[in-house]
Amino acid sequence: MKGSDSILKVELPQIDSVQCVTTEELPPDFYHEPPEGYSYEVTQHRRNMVAIWIINHGEFSYTDTPPRSIWGFYDRKKRCYHAPINATKHGNQVDISDTRPYTAMQLKLNPLEYALYSSGR
């Protein structure tokens, strides 16, 4: 077919990937202070649940943005904390007094370990 060499070329504008994150406030009974060199960030996870992130402000050669890890989740309706299974899924409900500044994940200690490591609370 003659004339089929003329293909319509259209340049599309390039769209940069933008992540919109609304930062919420820490729950009122969250009493942990961030460790030195760290801070906390709270983002909306689900309708009644927020994700609490711990951000490391150290210098890293592989990234310009500070890396963050999930600390845990807070259910605003039930006013309770949940340990994380991973960054997108919450696990069992936990008491805030059983959590640490770095994570809401629970330690699985035998009785001797519990006696040795829980005395600092």
Q: In the chain, how many domains are there?
A: 1
Does 69 reside within a domain?
yes
Does 48 reside within a domain?
yes
Can you list the pairs that 20-25 forms with residues at least 24 positions away whose Cβ atoms lie under 8 Å?
Answer: 24/50
According to the model, what pLDDT value does residue 17 have?
37
According to the model, what pLDDT value does residue 110 have?
86
Query: Parallel, antiparallel, or unpaired for β 49-56 and 38-44?
Result: antiparallel
Phi, psi angles (nearest 5°) of residue 91: -110, -140
Domain that holds residue 81: 23-117
State the Cα angle at 84 between 74 and 103, rounded to 5°.
85
Summarised one tens digit per residue, pLDDT across range 25-76 is 889 899 999 999 999 999 999 999 999 999 999 888 788 889 999 999 999 9
Summarised one tens digit per residue, pLDDT across range 62-116 is 888 899 999 999 999 999 999 999 999 999 999 998 889 999 988 888 888 878 8
Can you tell me whether residue 78 is helix, strand or coil? coil
Does 68 reside within a domain?
yes
Does 66 reside within a domain?
yes
Does 45 reside within a domain?
yes
CA 90/CA 73 separation, integer angstroms: 6
